[in-house]
Amino acid sequence: MASKMVEPKIKMIRLDVLKPRLSSLPLFATFLAELEGVKRVEVTLMEMNTATESLNVVLYGPGIDFDALKAHIDKDGAVIHSVDQVKTEKI
């Protein structure tokens, strides 16, 4: 019997994100939670100026698609500065 290859899935990802101050943190967190494969979102304000906010964003879920996540964040006018931590798991 041949074994089925299991693709590793992103279960947690920590991002440094820069976003415009147009939406509140609760709205931005809820916006991120809309993404398929995301079950939990944590957003921490790290720095703020008159036009932007620097955020630490942590997402948890059974299978987070990084490309879809990046495109979703772009829709809000935000930018990923860096990926600071990733946890993957074969499921």
CATH number for the domain harbouring residue 52: 3.30.70.1340
Indicate the helix (H) or strand (E) that contains 72.
helix 66-75
Which residues does 50 contact at the CB level (< 8 Å), separation at least 6?
Answer: 21
pLDDT 10s digits, 20-64: 998 899 999 999 999 999 999 999 999 999 999 999 999 999 999
Is residue 40 included in any domain, yes or no? yes
Q: Is the pTM of this model over 0.75?
A: yes
How many Å apart are CA 58 and CA 39, to the nearest integer?
11
Q: How confident is the model at residue 3 (pLDDT cuts 50, 70, 90)?
A: low
pLDDT over 90 for what percent of the chain?
A: 88
Provide the number of structural domains found in the chain.
1
Q: How confident is the model at residue 6 (pLDDT cuts 50, 70, 90)?
A: confident
Tell me 3's DSSP state: P
Domain containing 56: what range?
8-90
Which residues does 6 contact at the CB level (< 8 Å), separation at least 6?
Answer: 90, 91
Is residue 37 included in any domain, yes or no? yes
